Structure 1
Amino acid sequence: MAINELTLRRASELRSVVDDYVDASTRALTARWAQAWQEVAQEWQDTIAVILARKAAGEPLTPAQITQLARTQRALAMTATRLQELASEIGPLLEGSVREVVERTADLTTGVAVSQMPPVDSKLLPSFTRVDQAALEQIIERSLGQIHASSLPLADDAIDALKSSLIRAVPSGWGPAAAASEMLKRTRSSFNGGLTRAMRLARTEMLDAHRAANTAQNAANPSVTAVIWHAELSSRTCPSCLGKHGTEYPPDTPGPFDHQNGRCTFIPKTKSWADLGFPDIEEPPDITLSVDDWMQSNPQDAVAALGPDRYRMLQDGQITLPDLTKRVDNPDWRPSYQATSLADLRKVAKNL
């Protein structure tokens, strides 16, 4: 029952393992996108040169005419094909990492719970069962299905962004070389917008697969009586996560449902040593750091994380920690807890 230093260390090690897989996947996606851009960059350089040359010749090209130029259409078609290929590669690229994240989570979560057991002969302690493999396979398939579905729009969205960037006016007075460089920069930025979304998708889905495996493993063991929402307390922690840190839920609760790219985890909490059959062994206190204690010890980090207005309202008792977070339902993804707006917090403070 006592979350101790070993518990927190093992929970941190588990999260580090997951982060390593996520980071490796985002690096792989970045490399694929960079290679793809190199394959289409010359086509866009030539297309931009044609557009600027016709403008220099006095042709009043409208945005519609720019996109309808044969040269533009060829560049867009080539880029669309490459982006569609990239989108189709995301699922296969991430499949191995998703599987490893789920399998490793199931294995390492047990160690987090075992760290809370009393110091007695292991034969006297309850056994911890690994969650059924079929349940893990369902988590993997669900995650890969979501990755596939979310990857499909990436190409079309990036092409729309490319068209918009291409027809934006170049500032007057720019020379041909500077104008061409600026237009190519905008084009590349639009192309890489697909990469930004792909990396967010990879990170979000892999973390959600990790959380689902964590939940399944905790629910499979009756010695786990609850899970504790745990946030990494720092100047970068979002207000919503601070509001949820330390809250307790039944062990089969899915989540934690923090925001996209969130780093929160559920730490399993086991039965007390007395309930495990060891009433004569004194159980140490829980060492989980509360948000209140963290704020008192790290006021500068707290202000950076919360912002000065939220921090002041908390210090003055105008709002409470639970006020910092609200549930947002998303039919295309999952529910998530996000930071309550300052405007809404001021309403809460006014009504006290």
Structure 2
Amino acid sequence: MSELAVTAAGGTVTEFSSVDFRRCLGEFITGVTVITTVGPDGRRYGMTANSFSSVSLDPPLILWSLRLNASSFPIYSTADHFVVNILAEDQIGVSQRFAKSSVDQFEGVSHTTSASGIPLIDGCVAQLECRREATYPGGDHVVFLGRVLRIRNHGRQPLAFRSGKYQVVHAHEPVAPGEVDQPNVATLSAIHAARPLTDELGRETDRTVGISVWGNLGPTMIWWREASKPLRTSVRCGLVVSLLGSSTGALFAAYAPREVTGPLLDHELDQQKRCEGREDARRFRTRDDVENYLREVRARGLGTIANAMTPGVNEHPVTAVAAPVFDAKGDIVLAIAMLGDTKEFRVDDCAVERLRAVAAGLSLRLGYKAEYQRHR
């Protein structure tokens, strides 16, 4: 925040610069459009804009705005017709192309022509053909009000924009309590709900984060989001991790039914007994050692591992913390993990509390009730 900005009680900014204002507006997620028209000389024009908004259903009206000092302002301010092309999630290149001025922005861009002679960009989510209804002054912008004449809706996924970055839109589906696939520990509804939350957690903390479920071979990492400084590991989707040697594995071992985890725990314990030189083998000599460890995991409500070295995965030690996500029955459905280089990330890192909060919030969405915890 600039030196001009003063924060009053409750976090309200009473004085702010144009930079502060722009940053605040950027937090509002918008779609991305390309407004196309044709000049008096028949030349095609297009410009990227996210100022598009609906106004009225009856009559059908929309609006968008343009800077007074934009090079294309003389064209759009006199155009009687224009088309709002709402871009799809795979059209970042189209957005970037029309955000810049060039001799012919349409070169190489697949498009057709509307009944009023305006370019329609192929592959969009939707298109609105409009007639300019009115213009209004808006500070350093002019607001264009358009009457919608024809629409096209292609049913694709839209491109979004926030804080100077393109975004992918995920449906925020309500998750009904009890929406559980009985034979499986993990449910698709929980995974779909976890993806955007975990993605935001990674952006917010700038840590490597991932999602783990119980697969056919045990705890399995199904998705990763790297931090801006990637870990020096070969972490990959589909990686099956140890129950006793990983943070996510520890959670499934602690919370999943014994009839599910028992055979794998016995197998790992047997393997560790044969590796007398290993530190974890000395720690887990008997099943009682394992059960004591799992009680500690349940008491913390987190799976943790420091200075972890996994052959074939990481060449440098990593520290990992994982938080469990429970469903309406109180069963674990997935784990959200956070990893970092041991030199930079510890199990008591401040980001861990945010991890815990995200997992707890998702559990509540899935119908989990806090009283289950007292019986664990």
Larger Cα-atom Rg? 2
State the TM-score, normalized to the length of structure 2.
Answer: 0.25
Higher relative contact order (CA 8 A, sep 6+): 1
Q: Would you tell me which structure has more helix in proportion to its own residues?
A: 1
Q: TM-score, normalised by structure 1?
A: 0.26
